[in-house]
Amino acid sequence: MSDPEVVEGDIAIDPEEQEQEQQGRERRWWGLLAVILILLLLMFCIVTSVDVWVRGGSEQARFIARNAECLQCHTELIPEFGRADVHDPFAKRDCTTCHTKHGKVVSVRVDRSAGEAFKRFRTMLEWLPLRWFFSLTEGSVQEAGTVGAASSDQIQIKAKGGESMLVLPPEELCWMCHGDLGVKLSDPFPHQPFMAGRCGNCHNPHASDYSSLLTQAPNRICLTCHPFSEELAKQQVHPPAEQGWCTDCHDPHASKFKGILEARQRELCFRCHPTVAVMEGLPVQHQPFLNDNCTGCHEHHASDDLPLLDAPQPQLCYNCHPAIRNQFALPSSHPIGLELTCGSCHDPHAAQYSGLLNARNNSFCYQCHASFQVTYEANDHRGTLCIRCHTPHGSRYTPILRAANPPLCLQCHARRDFDENPPNKAANNHPVGPAHYDVNARKNLTCTTSCHNPHGTELNFMLRYFEYPKDGGCLMCHAVTPGKRVGIDF
């Protein structure tokens, strides 16, 4: 077999055939591109639709189908359905439940540029598949942007108009569904935003990540208008205030109680303070506690004085008991403000005994003065109340006596048994009183300086100094010593 003949020289190419081949390649390219676009369109349709159904459920799907005309401009609202709390009108009704229509149809010239073509293609890619899908699943949905063209170079599209108006004034709109809150406007203590109809100050009208459609976390939203940093810096902060749970105590809308409280102060405080609640039945009650005025003594948010007091003790108590302040200013007084507070003796809420005391009669005093109990209960004074001789707060006479000694003793003991004459006059009875000097105690002689202990001793007549070796207590002053002897020689 011979080799094929090789022809040398230029080969003629048919231009018409070449053009047809080029057109074929272009058609194949555009066909492939169309297939890719259709697949992308279909994929976007499926993904978007599934996302709507899976994340938002049928309610979201129906809402988008009903309000596609609005959402083609307000695309930012679609992700709102994925939030934790979605407003029912937003999810289950039409936008026009609350808003007036404000879109408009405009005729625009078709821009044949690549940029405008891409913009129109992107809009179609975003919306037409979703709208077509819901047209098949939820019924007919009119397609925006496809109204008949005015000419070959123009097309009518829907665009945003002016600002959307609410169907009612803001202060009335919410009452359409929340009529139960509308009646609270007559409450004497309304929250200012609520009274002014500014519901949007606290609530998102569409959806929120927080309960009750709040615009911020419940423990942060109140701080927008009510700065709290100074309170948080105090020594003690009320736990609800510290954690930001303001609505544990306050009604966010309005209340019949001062401070927009959810209930009367006692009822409200008892919810967290059951140990105080049981005192409600005690026979003696502190007036602020009885009259539902917990904040008369306590700060409701924070305080530098424990437990959440308006002022430190005893200054707080002096606000209502100014006369007591004067008693503690006397020369002899209980160490109030140092070792004791008013609460050391008095229950600030309620008690079983008069004076808001936590024990009765002398048993109350023995709580601090236990060393006196044994001897006092064994002597003749045992039937006498401590407050028969002592004042509970302060006195001009030491130790917190109701009167000077010996006049205090002579209120119960006959004066004939004592001699108050000056030393230069003869007397049959033992002298007593400021005219005589106690050489043992080195001060004016009274019933209790050296002779008697009013709280009792192991001796008869409550005499002191049992251990003294020389005739009991007498020789403390009347000892046999060189020189003159007391009561004998002068």
Digit-by-digit pLDDT tens for the chain (490 residues) are 555 555 555 555 667 777 777 777 777 888 888 888 888 877 766 666 666 555 555 666 677 777 777 877 787 787 787 788 888 888 777 788 888 887 665 555 555 555 555 555 555 545 555 555 555 444 444 433 333 444 445 555 555 566 778 888 887 888 888 888 888 889 999 999 999 889 999 999 999 999 999 999 998 999 999 988 898 899 999 999 999 999 999 999 999 999 999 999 999 999 999 999 999 999 999 999 999 999 999 999 999 999 999 999 999 999 999 999 999 999 999 999 888 999 999 999 999 999 999 899 999 999 999 999 999 999 889 989 999 999 999 999 999 999 999 899 989 988 777 777 776 676 677 888 887 888 888 888 888 888 899 998 888 888 887 666 556 567 777 765 555 555 554 4
Contacts of 202 (CB under 8 A, 6+ apart): 193, 214, 215, 221, 252
Closest CA to 68 of 123, 108, 118: 123
What DSSP element (H or E) covers 284? strand 284-285
Q: Scanning the structure block, which residue is given the tokens 């569409």?
A: 206
Contacts of 141 (CB under 8 A, 6+ apart): 65, 68, 131, 134, 135
Looking at 110-242, which runs of residues are DSSP E strands? 147-151, 154-160, 189-190, 207-208, 236-237
* Distance from C-alpha of 272 to C-alpha of 239, rounded to nearest angstrom: 10
* Distance from C-alpha of 70 to C-alpha of 51, rounded to nearest angstrom: 20
* Distance from C-alpha of 164 to C-alpha of 47, rounded to nearest angstrom: 31
Per domain, the residue ranges of the chain are 35-99+114-147, 421-490
